[in-house]
Amino acid sequence: MSTHFLGDTVVLTGRSLRHVLRSPDTIITTAIMPIAFLLLFVFVFGGAIDTGTDSYVDYLLPGILLITVASGIAYTAYRLFLDLQSGIFERFQSMPIARSSVLWAHVLTSLVANAISLAVVVGVAFLLGFRTGAGLGAWLGVTGILLLFTLALTWVAVIAGLSAKSVDGASAFSYPLIFLPFISSAFVPTASMPAPVRWFAENQPVTSIVDSIRRLFSEQAVGGDIWVALAWMAGLLAAALVVASVIYRRKVA
């Protein structure tokens, strides 16, 4: 059964990736907004923001990476919604394939597409002066955090894609996720915020994730933030996976 599932998932993932490669503008579009934010904050606002660091782009990049993922997963919901509307899910159900492989193909495609977008954004950040002395272990840690973050939000996107009533509705869910980093430590230290906003910023998941990535890049001890970040992402992933599976079973029943 597991071999059947893996084989079907690989085949369907290949199909989804081919669709993405035929429309590379989706990956480019995903990277454009984070890069625009990167340029805006580095060259317009960066000089007026005191982060206590020598380079604002070093401080800024972790939050921009999360925005990149939040922007990219909208396309997962969009592609899933289009597959549902085209009737291809019904055709898949009439074939001897593992049902869950259809969803996992979209999820794996999201991971690959977002990884490419993240690499593009990191490349631009290096051109703007981003520097890190992080070793292989720290880079692997950053990569692991971003992959888990992408996986968790992708399953949220699956819920949106399965539940949406229109194309616009399928991707609109990502807008609050894109702007959540603005009320966190992603752009400015939380100490500069008014007390109620500061409380929210310090206790929402983006801050712990951003701070963990920032410390890994700067070769500092991550402390307890990493465990808070992992708990948030693992909890979101588990909840979204369960909800998406329930909705999917109802759709294909």
pLDDT in tens, 88-126: 665 666 565 666 677 888 888 889 889 988 999 999 999
Mean pLDDT of the residues in the chain: 84
Question: Domain residues for 86?
Answer: 2-252
pLDDT value at residue 177: 87
Q: 131: left (phi > 0), else alpha (psi -120 to 50), else beta? A: beta
Higher pLDDT, 97 or 35: 35
pLDDT in tens, 41-64: 888 877 777 677 668 899 999 999
- What is the tally of structural domains in the chain? 1
Q: Give dist(CA 210, CA 61) in Å, integer.
A: 9
Indicate whether 1 pLDDT > 60. Answer: no
**Which letter does DSSP use for residue 99 in this model?**
T
pTM of the model: 0.88
Residue 237 in tokens? 């992933």
Q: Give dist(CA 238, CA 228) in Å, integer.
A: 15
pLDDT in tens, 192-214: 889 999 999 999 999 999 999 99
Going by pLDDT thresholds of 50, 70 and 90, the confidence category of residue 191 is confident
pLDDT value at residue 169: 77
> How far is CA 90 from each of CA 102, 163, 167, 186, 252, rounded to the nearest angstrom?
11, 16, 19, 43, 8
Residue 107 in tokens? 């999820």
Instruction: Please give the biggest Cα pair distance in the chain.
Output: 60
Going by pLDDT thresholds of 50, 70 and 90, the confidence category of residue 24 is low
Residues in the chain: 253
pLDDT value at residue 110: 87
Are residues 158 and 240 in contact, defined by beta-carbon separation less than 8 angstroms? yes
pLDDT in tens, 143-162: 999 999 999 999 999 998 88
Residue 209 in tokens? 């994730």
pLDDT in tens, 61-84: 999 999 999 988 888 888 888 777
